[in-house]
Amino acid sequence: MKVILGLSGGVDSAVALIKLLEQGYEVEAIFMRNWDSSLNNDVLGNPNDFSNVCPQEQDYLDALDVANKYNVKLHRIDFVDVYWEKVFAYFLEEYKNNRTPNPDILCNSEIKFKVFLEEAFKLKADYIAMGHYARVVHNPEVKLYKAFDKNKDQSYFLSQLNKTQLSKALFPLGEMTKEEVRKIARENDIKIATKKDSTGICFIGERNFKEFLKNYLKPNPGDIKTLSGEVVGKHEGLMYHTIGQRKGLGIGGAGDAWYVVGKDVANNVLLVSQGDTAEYLYSDRCIVNKINWLADDFKTLDCCAKFRYRSMDVKVRIVKINEDEFEVNYPDKAKAVTPGQAAVFYLGDELLGGGTINEVYLGKEKRMY
């Protein structure tokens, strides 16, 4: 069986390559080029990188080094245009609408498991593989599960993959911990065994986020106010902020730290409150749309939801409004459930499906998110 692996230049995909070869697969690899700072007006570059080599070029060299070590053919394919069209344009549009998108989820469904899959088929692949921490079962039916390493689990980011995409996917690291992955890399003398994990925007990396967005979205200054109407500062644009944000507000003074608790879009006002337990941060109901459902059909379902990556699972009851819209109830309340983010539903470790948070409520009151 032939597998085309996404080889990124990181330790996870390097160890995924080792595991696939151990399992007897015929392996080739693809390095994806998805972002070009010179073409995309990204004049700031990465503020945390001080080397003379472009970070993406260094990633390619690291991937090539691993591929050569195991005599695996590495293809370098340019997806810059389709990444802009399918992922980054949506990312910007959501921020223009004062929502908080998750580009990593769209990146998986549109790039890593769509156009990548199409390229893999051209290379006569039976499967594709990625270094994600997640588990997939193909028989007797396709199901997606959390990884064994719950601290590294990335199933949340795979919640928009359909069954066809999952049926062609392998995740060699799904039953491994990060510590085991790095140990295997060291034992195999992989030069990048201790390389730092990638963070930041999918394929773009770490950025001073507000300054990065200013390349594409013009500032629209306004007041920062408390819920009682007191002006406590100025903001450069509502789109630069998200619900629950603490840093970067520029508000000092006595008392607890300030948090973003809402957005009065009509008046261009950023709403803040002191303390991360501020009542306005909490909700007990949301409307989720753009549904991708992998499990059995239902009318009402009790399960758990993850409202953002790294958040705790919340017990919920889903009421199906229609095929593309759910009402999600969580009477025990949850904090900073944010429009634009993903709601991903689980029953135990099984991922049932996911969608995009559209509206947020406490009782009948719609939150100004």
Whether 303 is a known active-site residue: answer no
Burial (Cβ within 10 Å: 0-12, 13-18, ≥19) of residue 31:
buried
Calculate the alpha carbon distances from 273 to 56, 153, 227, 256, 277 in Å. 40, 32, 7, 9, 9
Of 107, 286, 303, 304, the catalytic one is 107
Q: Is 360 helix (H, G, I), strand (E, B) or coil?
A: strand
Among residues 54, 202, 286, 304, the one annotated as catalytic is 202
Q: Quickly list H helices, the chain.
A: 11-22, 55-69, 80-83, 89-96, 103-107, 116-122, 163-167, 178-187, 209-214
> How many alpha carbons fall within 13 Å on the CB side of residue 205?
21
* Distance between start and end Cα atoms, the chain: 49
The structure tokens listed for 128 are 């594709």
**How far is 192 from 194, CA to CA, in rounded Å?**
5
Closest to 6 (Cα-Cα) out of 48, 71, 46, 63: 63
55-69 vs 11-22: helix crossing angle, rounded to 10: 20
What are the beta bridge partners of residue 301? 318
Q: Is the dihedral of CA 106, 110, 112, 114 positive or negative?
A: positive
Neighbours of 10 (CB within 10 A): 19
Give yes or no: 304 in active site.
Answer: no
CA gap 367, 338 in Å, rounded: 10
Positions marked catalytic: 107, 202
